[in-house]
Structure 1
Amino acid sequence: MPQTTLRIAPDVDSLLASGRRVIDIETQALQAMAARLDGSFSAACQRILAGGGRVVATGMGKSGHIARKIAATLASTGTPAFYVHPGEAGHGDLGMITDSDVVLALSYSGESDEVLMLLPVLKRQGNTVIAMTGKPQSTLAREADIHLDVSVPAEACPLDLAPTSSTTASLAMGDALAVALLDARGFTADDFARSHPAGSLGRRLLLHITDVMHSGDEVPSVPASASLSQALMEMSHKRLGMTAVVDDDGRLVGMFTDGDLRRTLDNPALDVRQATIGEVMTRQPKTIDADQLAVEAARLMETHKISGLIVVDGDHRPLGALNIHDLLRARVV
């Protein structure tokens, strides 16, 4: 591999200027592409929606890397898709492509031999071919059923050699396709979470309060007439750092936490040996419904700077309890 020699150490300003120049050039490229977006884009979306199969993305080199990312984005947003290497396709992987699939072929020049080699077979099989090129007069653009123009005024590379603006434009066009299809399908956050169950997004969107709360005998609860010492025994036994306080009908009237205990002990006017929990509890505590998402509990705790919540039913009776440690264990926060 050829070695390059750094002849002059660049200063901070020149490095920043270089970075900003790249971003400016690529921004201009995206704006130019957005301005010329036309019926070909909507036709591509309609063909994919009507196809009933999958989107098979393909491309060589840097276009191949972008094609992989586009396929991954499509698949995670409701459009089944995968990547096929055009070189491998010519040696058996074409068998992965069925006649109901739509092929999205990327080649900025539109003349990549490995991609062009696939066209006769795809045509014979009846596949719709959507080309994404920067050369509307190229072979791939002419032979495709639909052409998406991702041409750019200039590459951000000062040598005008490394694909930079062109790959950014192709990636943005792929994102535009994915989001337009997502909107058309009515794809929801719950749909997204179902395809990301192992990630943090999936946990945040799929976990409900009932999945993380303590319920049944694990819920700390005392009547309002209980003594402070009785409440402390309940808190110690249930180990959640809090207890619900209920009236004679079992409805929540207050809550007592470790923080309330510190404030109680700091009150010189109060005889802690004689006090009932009803005298020192927090009235109208923050609560949450069982059918809400666990992430809503995290947001409520953060907003009000509290570390625990009582889960209540429609009659304001405690159903469960959870604290910040439960959310941390579930990796919701």
Structure 2
Amino acid sequence: MHTRTLGPFTVTAIGLGCMNLSHAYGIPPSAEQGERLLRAALDAGVTLFDTAALYGFGANETLVGRVLKAERSRITLCSKGGMAGVAGDDGVTRRVIDGRPEAIFRDCENSLRRLQTDVIDLYYLHRWDKKVPVEESVGALSRLVEQGKVRTIGLSEVGAQTIRKAHAVHPVTAVQTEYSLWTRNAEIAVLGACRELGINFVAFSPVARGFLCDAVPDVRTFDAKDIRRTMPRFDPENHARNLQLLPPYKELAREAGCTPAQLALAWLLHQGEYVLPIPGTTNVEHLHEDLAAADVKLSPDLLRRVGALINEKTVAGNRYSEQSNREVDTEVF
């Protein structure tokens, strides 16, 4: 397996995003299927695993903790707090962004319990709660480091100015944001800030939520709980326009001697050694396909052509709804 550094850790160049084993894309797989996928990742040599308190309102961390605890010493375990499921007075659990120190401490304790571990290797602020100065939230993360409950800290979905403010309080090991051929917001300023400050960049949704795998032929088949239903790029009109990008894209993948998913991941890996993609999947065959992308070599000319084909100017629709855009801090084109 190809490896890269993630702060003080040496990890596989391609990690595993565990979210969709419990959350987000409709009805999740069974716990048995999720365990099979996680064990296949371990068997394949994956050492970077990413989860969060939010995913499945704790179910994902519970699954990951149960399956990975026997291999804890050889993996880098990442989770996130500051956004979690909170039960309301009506008994319904809802997603809540809360960056107050007391909420971050509570989230971390819950994550440690569910993950069945004494320490989380990389703990992210899942969202910056804009009602709380980021310095205050990062101060709470730094205290978790001092207490030995967290080894390193990260931020998710924040812009360059926020990264610099946070890094001044405590060294930030990684910034995690959506990044792929069709989501280039990180290129505005975040990637530059990460390079300048020596911070790793972890790319989630690196295959464009299935689009760059050629796995979304008909958006009308999405499950009622599939989060893509709220994403403008997947509304029928925009999706129809975006589908026109796939035939020339698949031709470039054939030229590269790889699959469309592998081309998307290889393109990310070629953006710099500090970039680590974390694709997610529920399918063991797809897992092995994704991991093999680390072996794909792309010429400068092919990199240029694939980047020119799919980018912020050629893709129709915003990546998030207006509500979701208000909750993140990333720069926009």
TMscore range, shorter length: under 0.3
Work out which structure has the larger RCO, using CA pairs closer than 8 Å and 6 or more positions apart in sequence: 2
TM-score by length of 1: 0.27
TM-score by length of 2: 0.27
